[in-house]
Structure 1
Amino acid sequence: MSKLINWKSNWFNGNFQLFADGVQKGMISFSSWRSDAESMLEDKNYQFVNEGFWQSRTKVIDRKTNEVVAVINYDTWKSKAVISLNSGEQYEWKATGIWKSHWTVSNNKDEHIMYNSSSNSGVISSDTDNKLLIIAGLFIKQVYNRQTVLLIACIIPIITTSTLRHH
């Protein structure tokens, strides 16, 4: 049976609230200056800690045991990521659709999570109860959103400066 979770995000800080049947069941809270985050969904609590330049890798830590339970590696140029669980299982995150408003987390066999968004809200449809994967799908999307904003913030001054020099 498919599990449906609704989410809302705050555009300014990127934080998420997760709802099932109209009741808040979880959240993702990002730190102000980095894409690190704390998350909770029902009985699970995870911390996402980014590493590397452009935050090319994220460790997922179970807050109850302080154990690293997964690692996320990003392929920034292709808007893809791989979630590697301690069990050895791997799941692929990838954006679909022209506006990247749909994305999936899948093991390409029997577990699939589909995300749909419109502005600052959306729906998650999951055929797995793996809360880590459900949260990771939203977390990865926000990491890519923040990278896009940073890239635009770096490019606009360059374009503006070069345009002004040629007038």
Structure 2
Amino acid sequence: MSKFISWKNNWLSGNFQLFTDGVQKGAITFGTWKSDAEGVFDDKNYFFSNVGFWQSRTNVIDRKTNELVAVITYDSWKSKAVISLKSGERYEWTSTGIWKSQFTVSNYNNEHITYNASSYSGAISSDTDNELLIVSGLFIKHIYNKRVVTLIACFMPIIVISTMRH
């Protein structure tokens, strides 16, 4: 059974709203100065807490049980991440579109979630009801988008100074 979800993204805050059949069923809300986030979808509530100086890992905590349910690890050189569930299952997040407008979460077996993005909205097609995986895919998208913006912000002064010298 396929599940179809649409989402909207607030550019300034990075927050997401998730809709099923036009009714808001969830949200991802990011902290003001951090990449930590609260993710809610249907009746599930998760807290995404980034770990480490370079934030190369995210712990996902179930808010109802206060239990660690997943760990997300990021590949710094590729747009790729691994979601390792407490059960031992592993899912891979990969960007499939040339402009990073498509991405997937998959175990390459029987569960696959496809995300399509336009400017500040998109659609999700999922053959699993796993709310954690659905929300995690958008959270990871935001983390990689934030890294690109940070990289551009770091190199922009260098580019401007070098072009002004010549």
- Residue number in structure 1 paired with 2:107: 107
Once the two structures are superposed, what CA deviation does each residue of 1:57-90 show, in whole Å capped at 9, x if it has no partner? 0000000111110000000211000000000000
- Residue number in structure 1 paired with 2:41: 41
2:133 corresponds to which letter in structure 1? L
- Residues 44-123 of structure 1: matches in 2 within 5 Å? 44-123=44-123
Q: Which runs of 5+ in 1 are unaligned?
A: none
Q: Which runs of 5+ in 2 are unaligned?
A: none
CA RMSD of aligned residues (A): 0.8
- Count of residue pairs brought into register by the alignment: 166
- Residues 133-144 of structure 1: matches in 2 within 5 Å? 133-144=133-144
Residue 20 in structure 1 maps to residue 20 in structure 2: yes
SS at match of 2:163: helix
- Residue number in structure 2 paired with 1:159: 159
Measure the CA separation in 2 of the matches of 1:3 and 1:54.
34
Measure the CA separation in 2 of the matches of 1:25 and 1:120.
18
1:126 corresponds to which letter in structure 2? S
- The percent of aligned pairs where both chains have the same amino acid is 70
Measure the CA separation in 1 of the matches of 2:98 and 2:54.
24
- Residue number in structure 2 paired with 1:128: 128
Measure the CA separation in 2 of the matches of 1:4 and 1:54.
34
